[in-house]
Amino acid sequence: MKAVAKLHPTEAGIDVVDVVTPGIEAPTDVLVQVVISGISGSEVNIWKGTYRRPNGQPVEPGRILGYDPYTGSAPPGVELVGNLDDILVSSDIVTLHLPVTAETRGMIGAAQLSRMRSHAILVNTSRGALVRTEDLVRSLRDGAIAGAALDVLEREALDAPALAGLPNVILTPHMAYYSESSLRESQRKAASQIIKVLRGEPPDYPVN
């Protein structure tokens, strides 16, 4: 029997890097198109900038609220609020755009879902572990919220059956990031990190 020696990449002098934020705009495009067309029944073409209701009337943009405890500024057109509860009680569509940390894991559970409007829709194109699946399923079945559009799940394959059978849920297979521009961006970033390491320069997104 042969012995196999395992060597950590750092010990072997191998740089490990990550390609972060590929196509940051793509998930937002997907969530807008999925929510407005799939759940509300409106006709949407995000790339042409057209938004129409089933009766043909245009969909007028509403207020855009944002909450981020780590920044005091927001992009143009976004109104910052003081806490997450302000978002939940005031929004018709609640979208999540943040990483999973010890602070954010399970941040949307029964208590938070109960604060949302009964006609509200939850959208998650970020990380599945932000939402407690069992609480979401219960809220959707009980009509506590109107629907959910999910590109990510708390336990990807295991949670899908419980959600797929609900008529007020739209699931996509963890692909909201994908677009032609995001593919080019991820390829460019990967190549740029290889070039930096070969030149002896520190990579932008080191893992080790």
pTM above 0.75, yes or no: no
Q: What pLDDT digit, counting tens, does each position of 102-132 carry?
A: 999 999 999 999 999 998 889 898 899 999 9
Question: Would residue 112 count as lying in a domain?
Answer: yes
Which of the two residues, 13 and 83, has the higher pLDDT score?
83
Residue 208 has what pLDDT?
75
Q: How many domains does the chain have?
A: 1
Residue 49 has what pLDDT?
43
SS3 of the chain? CCCCCCCCCCCCCCCCECCCCCCCCHHHHHHHHHHHHHHCCCEEECCCCEEECCCCCECCCCCEEECCCCCCCCCCCEEECCCHHHHHHHCCEEEECCCCCCCCCCCECHHHHHHCCCCCEEEECCCHHHECHHHHHHHHHHCCCCEEEECCCCCHHHHHHHHHCCCCEEECCCCCCCCHHHHHHHHHHHHHHHHHHHCCCCCCCECC
Question: Looking at the predicted structure, is the pLDDT value of residue 36 above 50?
Answer: yes
Amino acid at 198: L
Residues assigned a catalytic role? 127, 156, 174
Question: Would residue 85 count as lying in a domain?
Answer: no
Question: Would residue 206 count as lying in a domain?
Answer: no
Question: Would residue 164 count as lying in a domain?
Answer: yes
Question: Would residue 3 count as lying in a domain?
Answer: no
Quickly state the pLDDT bin for 183 (edges 50, 70, 90).
Answer: confident
Q: Whole-angstrom Cα distance, residue 65 to residue 74?
A: 10
Question: Would residue 6 count as lying in a domain?
Answer: no
Residue 88 has what pLDDT?
94
Residue 54 has what pLDDT?
47
Question: Would residue 176 count as lying in a domain?
Answer: yes
Question: Would residue 208 count as lying in a domain?
Answer: no
Instruction: Determine the structural domain holding residue 123 and report its residue range.
Output: 26-61+92-182
CATH number of the domain bearing residue 106: 3.40.50.720
Residue 50 has what pLDDT?
44
Question: Looking at the predicted structure, is the pLDDT value of residue 85 above 90?
Answer: yes
166-to-57, 104, 121 alpha-carbon distances in Å: 29, 26, 14
Q: What pLDDT digit, counting tens, does each position of 132-149 carry?
A: 999 999 999 999 998 898
